[in-house]
Amino acid sequence: MNQKLKIMVVDDEAIVGKRLKPSLESSGYTVETFGDGRSAIARLSKERFDIVITDVRMDDVDGMQILEYVRANIPQTKVIIITGYASVDLARRALDKGAFDFIAKPFKPGDLRTVIEKAARAPSA
Amino acid sequence: MTDDSGHTMNKAPDRPRESMCVYAPMDAAERKSATAGRHTGIQQRACFPVRLRLILAFAAIFVYCAGVTLWTIYVLPAVHHKIRFLELADAYRHETAQMRRFEKNYFLYGTHLRDALLHTQKARSILSDNEADILKVMSRGRLTAMQKSLASYAAGLQKLAGGHSPEVRAEVQHRLRKYGHRLTADADAFSIQERRALDRTFSLLRTGPLILLAVLMIILFAAAWHINRKIVTALGRLTDFTERIAAGDYTRITFKKTRRDEFTQLATAMNQMIDEIEKRQEILVQSHKIRAIGNLVAGVAHELNNPLNNILLTAVSLQENYADLPPAEALEMLADIVGETERSREIVRNLLDFARQREREIKRLDLGEMLGRAIRLVSSQARMSKIRIETCIPDNLPPVHSDRQLLIQLFVNLLLNAVDALSQNAHGRIAVTVDAPTQAEYVAVSITDNGPGIPRRLQDRIFDPFFTTKPEGRGTGLGLSVSRNIIEQLGGFMRVESEVGKGATFTVYLPVTRVPH
């Protein structure tokens, strides 16, 4: 890891961002958090992120829409989907659409860190 | 939401409004005891079955016919005797007439005395030979008097035969005239009298059957009328009753008759059948509730994962950074954990409150609160499908009387139905509105979705049990049927308005409880 990875966390549950930001920053990542999909996409159009971690179910613009946006516009950015319910169907759909991986709630920061590290090592699509 | 240009279709059975103003339906236990009371009441009434009525009616007709036959059997021999007597009377009259003729000849010409004696003898033998037959019609005293006259007459003739003086002859002639006259007069009188009696009997035999036939007709009409009244009327009542059951009205049959018969047995059996149907309905409502809970659990589990995730993330952060955290931040984290735990508790409590099996209890309920609970129960389900639920529930709604869980179940059913209808819809929207016009007897709760709508040809059938448009294995087809059943239990009714492509509105009309001032 030559340079700091830039990570975006999107979840309409405010506590998720509030806890993940210091936790991931302590692991050496640069982290920005957003509480809704719309402002996250607005930010993505301006700034390049290495990894986007997004909750799948949100009002208005949801995780799948963020995934679609990223795949269409910034394909080198990897997307990790957070799901509230580990439905096989949803996971398959997310992976079909090009998500790097998914993680089911509830998870520990360590679980997420493992997935992030895996994503960091993986070659860009 | 309501399409003004669209047709308003009334899918609720068109029952008169008055009949629906049942403000506080009897609860199950109360109704059961009332039914039981009626059942025992009817069992104590005297039993007078239709079978017995029929037997009695036919027995009465038989007795009447038998009476008529016996009367005929009695009358015909009497007629026979009379005819026989008339024959004898005619023969006797003939003999006496001959006897008198020869007696006259003797006195005029002195001839034929033997012939007169011969005919006298014949007349006597008619009387003596047929004594038994004559006595059936005539009294013995009279017969004896006749025989005496005849004997005296014969004695007179004998006297003439045995030689005589002119004085004796004149005296005997006088006696013979006297007895002879009496004999012929008697014979004539008899003959006429008996002929008249016979004529009367014949005319009675002619008119009698007509009268008997008329009486028989009256008896038959009375029996037919009675049977018609008992059977046809009772069958009519039972037919009306079965039609009412089919329409979902489960009021028990009341017994109007003072005595029991087969129809009261049938009615009792039908009342037991209704008890059974109601039990089944209750089981159906319960089992459908369990299905609804099954649906809700998926949403609730998902909903629960959010606070659980928040708690886990916060607790792990607290654990990992325990030594370095400033106290204020640690306290904030602990407050988050407490808050999120309480949030989890609320989610679980709401579902458990709905899931718990309770005795039905009708009480005054806040309609807005019940709707709020139902909406919260399905909210996670709706969020999963990205369906927005909009509410327009005014304050100060009139109170309704209902069982709390039943009312929530009703709204949950209709909301889940709307959620199902919107599963393929990108911008699903459910609007819950309450319309409570002052002075109106009903408060109207409308649940509108912007889904695909219901084709008009299906609108009549959607409330039928087991009717579903969902693919096999997805729906039981009982949701709307159970919902309608619940509404009817609460004394209300439901209507649907829908057009293909324009969504659907289900409106529940619940009776308002009016508090007298």
From the list B84, B95, B152, the residue with the least C-alpha distance to B125 is B95
Q: Which residues of B touch A108 (CB under 8 A)?
A: 312-313, 316
Asked if the C-beta of A71 comes within 8 angstroms of chain B's C-beta atoms, the answer is no
User: Tell me: domain B50-224, CATH 1.20.120, correct?
Assistant: yes
Instruction: Give residue-wise pLDDT tens across range B105-124.
Output: 888 887 778 888 888 888 88
Q: Which residues of A touch B306 (CB under 8 A)?
A: 13, 84, 105
Q: How many CA atoms lie within 13 A of B80 on its CB side?
A: 6
Interface contacts A/B by beta carbons within 8 Å: 64
Q: CATH 3.30.565.10: which residues of chain B?
A: 17-26+273-511
For B429-445, b/e burial (b = at least 16 CB within 10 A) is bbbbbbebeeeebbbbb
Report, as an integer, the average pLDDT of B199-228: 86
pLDDT higher than 60, residue B27: no
Asked if the C-beta of B423 comes within 8 angstroms of chain A's C-beta atoms, the answer is no
Per-residue pLDDT of chain A (125 residues; tens, 9 = 90+): 447 899 999 999 999 999 999 999 999 999 999 999 999 999 999 999 999 999 988 878 889 999 999 999 999 999 999 987 666 778 888 899 999 998 988 999 999 999 999 999 887 65
Quick one: tokens of B394? 């005014």
Q: Do B316 and A105 touch (CB under 8 A)?
A: no
CA B319 – CA B314 distance, rounded (Å): 9
Closest residue to B313, CB basis, from A20, A62, A84: A20
Instruction: Give residue-wise pLDDT tens across range B219-262.
Output: 889 888 888 887 888 888 888 888 888 777 777 877 776 777 78
Positions of E strands within B208-250: none
ipTM of the complex: 0.93
Mutation pick from B296, B303, B317 vs chain A, by most beta carbons of A within 10 Å, is B317
Closest residue to A19, CB basis, from B301, B306, B313: B313
pLDDT interval class at B151 (50, 70, 90): confident
Mutation pick from A9, A11, A15, A23 vs chain B, by most beta carbons of B within 10 Å, is A15
Q: Do B306 and A59 touch (CB under 8 A)?
A: no
pLDDT: is B5 or B279 the higher one? B279
Cis before A22 (ω within 30)? no
List the 45-64 stretch of A: residues with Cβ below 8 A of B. Answer: 57, 59, 62
What is the domain class of B17-26+273-511 according to CATH?
Answer: alpha beta
> Distances from the Cα of B254 to the Cαs of B38, B263, B272, B346, in angstroms?
8, 12, 13, 48
Give me the residues paired with residue B447 across strands: B432, B506
Q: Mark out the alpha helices in B356-455 (DSSP H runs).
A: 367-384, 404-421
Highest mean pLDDT, choosing among A57-66, A81-90, B290-299, B335-344: B335-344
Among the ranges given (B79-83, B188-192, B405-409), the one the predictor scored with the smallest mean pLDDT: B188-192
CA B280 – CA B465 distance, rounded (Å): 13
Asked if the C-beta of B320 comes within 8 angstroms of chain A's C-beta atoms, the answer is yes
Q: CATH 1.20.120: which residues of chain B?
A: 50-224
pLDDT: is B515 or B58 the higher one? B58
User: Tell me: domain A6-121, CATH 3.40.50.2300, correct?
Assistant: yes
Report, as an integer, the average pLDDT of B42-52: 75
CA B499 – CA B324 distance, rounded (Å): 64
Instruction: Give residue-wise pLDDT tens across range B139-150.
Output: 888 888 888 888
Q: Do A15 and B308 touch (CB under 8 A)?
A: no
CA B354 – CA B348 distance, rounded (Å): 10
Report, as an integer, the average pLDDT of B444-455: 90
